Amino acid sequence: GAVRFTGLTWLRPLGLDDTDEVRVVTEGRAGHPPAPPVPFTITGPDGVTYVSGGAEPLPDPAPFAVTAPTPEEVGPAVAPAVVYARLAAGGVRHGTGLQVLQALWAGPGECLADLAAAPAPGQWLDPAVLDGAFQVLAVLDGTTGYLPTSLAELTCLRPLPARCRVHARDVTPPGTTGSRTVDLDVFDGGDHVLAVRGLHLTAVRRDAATQPATPRTGTAPRT
């Protein structure tokens, strides 16, 4: 059902091509579940923590009062190939299964994109769609060379559709250096289905950016 994640932090990269097992660990004792949001961590087989945050179900979620702008309201078109070239230059290369950008428009401090991924029945947060929503950030002014490291809140009212529209806005406070903050929304036609608030992007170290690009093959785990 509908769910909200809060205080989500990516502590270190997890090589999904190198492991076939991850574990979700929640806090609390048997018979004494913690009050929502429930703290959790995602670990590898070796027990190393890669992600931490909190989660809570939303049994009766209120609809979002947000609408997507039109491409004309955002800015000129940008070829999706430009985004993947920027990402590869920053050290991340996407396989065909994750190259889901179909159309893209960008203006000062915001961008709009249409995504199309392979259908994933039964998935709420399809990894390919969610990754595609984050891919569009590479076209925002000043975000080249940045990677997502945390977010304040992610709310999903229903499963992400394979075809959707993404709107992202740079909301970085003035005077900030070394990081950016972005708000992001996903739409299924006229319906607002996912909101990300306070997505924190941290600048990639110069030495890391010069390493060979890391392939993303499209074998992301099911969520």
- Partners of 38 in the beta sheet? 55
Kindly report, residue by residue over 86-127, the tens digit of the pLDDT.
888 877 888 888 999 999 999 999 999 999 999 998 889 999
Q: How do the domains of the chain map onto residue ranges?
A: 3-54, 71-216
Kindly report, residue by residue over 187-219, the tens digit of the pLDDT.
999 999 999 999 999 987 644 443 434 444 444
Q: According to the CATH classification, is domain 71-216 in 3.30.70.270? A: no
Model-level pTM? 0.85
